Structure 1
Amino acid sequence: MPLEDNAGAGQPQRTNAAYAIPEDEISLRDLWEIIAKRKWLVILSMVVCLGLAAAYVSLATTVYESKAMVQIGKVAGQPLNNSLQLASALMNRYTLVNTEQANKQLPKLYAVTPDKADGSILTLEAQGRSPQEAQQYLQGVIQRLLAEDHQRYQQLVGVRQAQLKRLQTQYQHMRSAADIKIGKGQADSTSALLLLEQFRRTEALTHIQSAIANMENALAPNNTSPTAQTLSPRYDPIPIAPKRGLILVLAGLGGLMLGVFLALLQNAFRK
């Protein structure tokens, strides 16, 4: 009997120990009660964060963006400029050396990006304090680029056109000389030397004809074209910065989280 009493007495103790709730744990209901009691602290935190965010948004410089696209010219199928090198050169030309001043610079050339599908197409992005400022600044950058590339394009095309003209003149001279010699040779009996000479002249004329055809094909519009603006700088009235709505939403959420943290911290200190 004493053994049975001891066993019965020990069983409830083990059961209570298994289902006991630790004192340092807190339920969601307790958490809600703590926050509800200090709701004004949470609201005050949100108001302060929203106020700071609103002050920043009102004082920050509004930035607008304008985009345009340029097709790099080519001569005989070869581009006038390497797209990556041209993009780097443009950014270096229009970006200040001092990084801090470059970040504050407006208007400015923000980015020059080669197209992934076609490397000869560049997308230029400029930023300004107004849509008009960004658009006009980008138009000036593009006009200078087109003027410089047009000058180089004219030089390269001029060289190839001169080569084509020389080939055409040479062909005409050789053709005329061949016709005269053939006319004289008709009075004489055909000889092996005359046939050999005619064969050589015909082969030379064929070679020059092929060179002329290749040169004309290289100067055709599909292989030779100047740098052109394919998309004019657009006028976008929607600012890209600051993101007012996003900033205010993040400020509200941050204020809410800060208020909950302060409420829990205050409750812990009071305990």
Structure 2
Amino acid sequence: MTEHANSTEGRLDRSYAGNLAENARFPDDEISLIDLWRIVMRRWVWVLVGFIAFVAAGVAFALFSPPVFEASAKIQIGQVRSDSGEDRASIPIVSATVASAELLQSSSDLVGSGELKSVSITAQSDVWPAILDIVAVGSTPEAARQTIEQTLARLLGAHQIAYDDAISPFLDRSNVLAERHSEVQETLREYDAGIQALRTTDPILAMLLLSEKSDLAERLAQIEAEISEVRVRLSSPMTFPSHQVGSILASDVPASPRPPLVLALSVAFGLVGGLIIALVAEFFTKARQVSAQ
């Protein structure tokens, strides 16, 4: 039993001694701020090289990258009140997806002109009906603005045709009701004249005409109610065509590149990159020293 205990203690002592030797050979990987500062001071050349490289790349990008300009506008898709009597029965004349496809199709020939880079569209689905955000990117402010103007004209023109087709049945109904209203009013005036003439000569017939006149008056009231309903359906906010929201936003200042932002990022990346290069150099130096030992 004593020999076994002594053997176990011997193994533990050798294991502990081995761990000490291993720790001495490979110290703790954690680096304090003081150690980091010492590394920077020893490897300041690498830090400077990394910093200069990143800053030079950023300055070159800011100076030699072609400027890009943006222009933007918003379109609210028109809607038409449906025949149902629900509270939210107004439906868009075109869906946001269809409108987006129309927009991109209408500007596809402009993108190939050379000065225009791209046209993008985003639908604000949280707004009813949807609002389309249109952004044109061009190599000059004039190219971006002209693209927005041409795209708006094409898209709004196409939507106006869809809007006219959608409200056409209501307009036809309104015209028919207006004709009926005029006819009933003319008939009522004739009944008034006949009743006035028959009051003394034939009171009974006058009473019959008066009864028929009340039916015509009720019919006239129904027609006027229908006319009022059609007018409500054709008026805002129930019904309105697609229209531009606000004005076109365009700036003579390039959207990209932005020299102050590029310079700030290049300085930040330069400091981080230089520090990383210094740490890597320190790591390989220590690794060679350990291998030599």
Partner in structure 2 of residue 72 of structure 1: 77
| Structure 1 residue 212, shift from structure 2 partner | 1.6
Q: Is the 8 A contact 2:73 2:248 kept in 1?
A: yes
Partner in structure 1 of residue 50 of structure 2: 45
Q: Is the 8 A contact 1:53 1:248 kept in 2?
A: yes
User: 3-state DSSP class of the match of 1:165?
Assistant: helix
Q: Distance in 2 between matches of 1:39 and 1:247?
A: 24
Partner in structure 1 of residue 12 of structure 2: none
Q: Is the 8 A contact 1:66 1:125 kept in 2?
A: yes
User: 3-state DSSP class of the match of 2:249?
Assistant: coil
Q: Is the 8 A contact 1:63 1:128 kept in 2?
A: yes
Q: Is the 8 A contact 2:92 2:129 kept in 1?
A: no
Of 133-142 and 54-63, more deviation after overlay is shown by 54-63
Partner in structure 2 of residue 236 of structure 1: 251
| Structure 1 residue 39, shift from structure 2 partner | 0.6
Residue 124 of structure 1 aligns with an amino acid whose one-letter code is: I
- Go from structure 1 to structure 2 and tell me whether the alpha carbon gap of 1:215 and 1:260 turns closer, same or farther (over 3 Å shift): closer
User: 3-state DSSP class of the match of 2:116?
Assistant: coil
> Share of identical aligned residues, percent?
24
Partner in structure 2 of residue 160 of structure 1: 170
User: 3-state DSSP class of the match of 1:119?
Assistant: coil
Q: Is the 8 A contact 2:50 2:271 kept in 1?
A: yes
In the TM superposition, 1:1-271 aligns within 5 A as 23=24, 24-25=27-28, 26-76=31-81, 78=90, 81-82=93-94, 84-93=96-105, 106-114=116-124, 116-181=126-191, 183=194, 186=199, 187-189=202-204, 197-220=212-235, 223-270=238-285, 271=289
| Structure 1 residue 188, shift from structure 2 partner | 4.6
User: 3-state DSSP class of the match of 1:147?
Assistant: helix
Partner in structure 2 of residue 8 of structure 1: none
What do residues 196-243 of structure 1 show as CA deviations (whole Å, max 9, x unaligned)? 644543332221121122223333465554433332322312222234
Structure 1 residues not aligned, in runs of 5+: 1-19
| Structure 1 residue 84, shift from structure 2 partner | 2.0
How many residues are paired up? 247
Q: Distance in 2 between matches of 1:107 and 1:262?
A: 38
Of 147-156 and 176-185, more deviation after overlay is shown by 176-185
What do residues 111-134 of structure 1 show as CA deviations (whole Å, max 9, x unaligned)? 233374453543322111121111
Q: Distance in 2 between matches of 1:91 and 1:179?
A: 55
Q: Is the 8 A contact 2:93 2:162 kept in 1?
A: no
What do residues 54-110 of structure 1 show as CA deviations (whole Å, max 9, x unaligned)? 3333343321111222343444584653452344224542576xxxx99x9934322
- Go from structure 1 to structure 2 and tell me whether the alpha carbon gap of 1:215 and 1:172 turns closer, same or farther (over 3 Å shift): same
User: 3-state DSSP class of the match of 2:187?
Assistant: helix
Q: Is the 8 A contact 1:171 1:205 kept in 2?
A: yes
Q: Distance in 1 between matches of 2:236 and 2:272?
A: 64
Please give the root-mean-square deviation of Cα atoms over the aligned residues, in Å: 3.6
Residue 45 of structure 1 aligns with an amino acid whose one-letter code is: G
